[in-house]
Amino acid sequence: MNEKEKTKRPRQASAKGNVPQKRHYKKRTPVQHEHSDAPAETQHKPRLRQPKEVKRTAVRIIPLGGLNEIGKNMTVFECSNDMFILDCGLSFPDADMPGVDIVIPDFTYVERNKDRLRGIVITHGHEDHIGGLAYLLKKINVPVYATRLTIGLIEGKLKEQGLSGKVSLNVVEPRKTVKMGCMAVEFIKVNHSIPDSVGMAIHTPAGVIVHTGDFKVDYTPIDGKIIDLARFGELGSKGVLALMSESTNAERPGYTHSERTVGESFD
Ligand SMILES: [Zn+2]
């Protein structure tokens, strides 16, 4: 028995070799007798460090448009060897851009890393979120994921650019999740001035990133589907690594009117 134990113990120790401080525990035992009042704190500190080291996978969020400007929204999320794009919009030229019809994001970074690109998710069908898509898909052909109306609008864009039937377009329902390598993107229903809009919860090894997309809280939306505040709350209670939120008019007091009032004003 003694011999067996002897052979087992070193194995256990080496199996747990990645977890620091376990082996130091034994060495400290005789020292503890000399400082019997003090050692409790010094023993606890190393234990608290352990979970952080396990969760060290970095996630990169790279805005290629839409930050500090209106239009051409496009964000890249990267983790390990995987990356995906959230939205791919256009913007319209300023007065100092004569002869320019539309402005699209700079795709250079994505083109250089296309081997790692797993797909594109789209929050809603406005031009500043889908208008650049056809130009990117001409260069890199990857699957696109969006809700039903958004996919329909994208189909029209691809047709204009001669890409009809050449791209994998996938309808995703709210509360469903799309795998993007080591990350997963969950669609969450939001309200906006166009139906079928979603926000996204991006589940990564480092934690959950919530991206609201363009949104408002509309209790009487035309399609009857209210923003899924319950899901946002659920994610919040579990802990969110970062929140990326639309901020249009965020500094103006009051509420945005329901989309229903737009229809009423035509009567
Ligand atoms: Zn919008």
**What CATH number corresponds to the domain at position 93?**
3.60.15.10
* Tens of pLDDT, residues 196-219: 999 999 999 999 999 999 999 999
Query: Is 30 part of a structural domain of the chain?
Result: no
Tell me, yes or no, whether 21 lies in a domain: no
The answer as to whether 36 is a domain residue is: no
In this predicted structure, which of 32-36, 157-161, 167-171, 199-203 has the lowest mean pLDDT? 32-36
Q: Tell me how far CA of residue 109 lies from CA of 27, 47, 134, 182, in angstroms.
A: 52, 40, 17, 20
Q: How far is the CA of 169 from the centre of ligand 1 (A)?
A: 20
pLDDT interval class at 180 (50, 70, 90): very high
d(CA 5, CA 17): 18
> What integer pLDDT is reported at residue 44 of this predicted model?
53
How many domains are there within the chain? 1
Let me know if residue 218 belongs to a domain.
Answer: yes
Is 219 part of any domain? yes
**Separation CA 138–CA 135 (nearest Å):** 5
The DSSP secondary-structure symbol of 222 reads T
Say how many Å lie between the CA of residue 153 and the centre of ligand 1.
13
Calpha distance 11→7 (Å, rounded): 7
Rounded Cα–Cα distance for residues 223 and 148 (Å): 13
Q: Is residue 238 part of a domain?
A: yes
Arithmetic mean of pLDDT, 99-110: 95
Containing structural domain, residue 259: 59-264
Answer whether residue 115 shows pLDDT above 60. Answer: yes
Q: Is the pLDDT of residue 9 over 60?
A: no
Gap from CA of 89 to ligand 1 centroid (Å): 10
Is the pLDDT reported for residue 1 higher than 50?
no
| pLDDT of the residue at 103 | 95
Mean pLDDT in residue range 134-144: 97
* Furthest CA-CA distance within the chain: 92
- Do the domain assignments include residue 26? no
- The alpha carbon of 207 and the centre of ligand 1 are apart by a number of angstroms equal to 26
Q: What percent of the chain has pLDDT over 70?
A: 78
**10 in a domain, yes or no?**
no
